[in-house]
Structure 1
Amino acid sequence: MNAYLVGADVLGNIPDLLNRYGITIHKHVSGRHAAHQRKPASLKGVDLIILFTDFLGHNVMRHYRELANEENIRFVACRRSVCSLSQTLDKLGHCAGNPCDTCPQRKLH
């Protein structure tokens, strides 16, 4: 699964966490540059948009949410922390590592 990350200048441990969930970073933009604050031309090859809310303004978030809805791409919004992102991905039904036999999400993998 490929993810488009919006927000945060530095990702820290987030790439490692995403790898455990089987998610690859397709592209990362900080959201600070004026070009990042408008809708990108296309999200081709992206399966998930992750918006880090503690680093984004309302208009930037709105642009990316609208584009995600237009292109039928899932998006999540969370704080830029490993804990918050992990909880958000768990709610989406992703499991870190291999799911156990009793996991109700096993069929999603």
Structure 2
Amino acid sequence: MNAYLVGADVLGNIPDLLTQYGISIHKHVSGRHAAHQRKPASLKGVDLIILFTDFLGHNVMRHYRELANEENIRFVACRRSVCSLSQSLDKVCPRDGCAACPNQKNRR
């Protein structure tokens, strides 16, 4: 599963946590630059958008949420901490991987 991360200048231990969930980072933007604050042209190859709310403005979050809804991509909004991200990911993607994912069972 590929994730598009929005917010935070430094990720710290977050890549290690994402690896535990079987998620790789497709792209990471800080959200500070004007170009990062607009909707990206496309999110091809992205399965999940992670928004770090303590580093983003309301309009930036709105743009990415709208794009996720338009392209049928799941998104998670949380603070930039390993604990907060872990709690949010448990709701979307279990640590056991895709075999235990309730969304995977619905696709068959």
- Higher helix fraction (1 or 2): 2
Alignment partners' CA distance in 1, 2:23 and 2:99 = 17
Partner of 1:9: 9
Alignment partners' CA distance in 1, 2:78 and 2:72 = 19
1:42-100 deviation per Cα after TM superposition (whole angstroms, max 9, x unaligned): 000000000000000000000000000000000010000000000101111421xx47x
3-state DSSP of counterpart to 1:49: strand
Partner of 2:49: 49
Query: Which letter does structure 2 place at the counterpart of 1:90?
Result: D
Query: Which letter does structure 2 place at the counterpart of 1:28?
Result: H
With the length of structure 2 as denominator, give the TM-score of the two structures: 0.89
Query: Which letter does structure 2 place at the counterpart of 1:53?
Result: T
Structure 1 segment 1-109 matched on structure 2, within 5 A: 1-95=1-95, 98=96, 107-108=100-101
1:5-36 deviation per Cα after TM superposition (whole angstroms, max 9, x unaligned): 00000000000000010000000000000000
Identity over aligned pairs, percent: 85
Whether the aligned pair in 1 keeps the contact of 2:21 and 2:93 (CA below 8 Å) is no
Alignment partners' CA distance in 2, 1:29 and 1:107 = 30
Alignment partners' CA distance in 2, 1:65 and 1:107 = 26
Query: Which letter does structure 2 place at the counterpart of 1:9?
Result: D
With the length of structure 1 as denominator, give the TM-score of the two structures: 0.88
What's the RMSD between the two structures over aligned residues?
1.6
Number of residue-to-residue matches in the alignment:
102
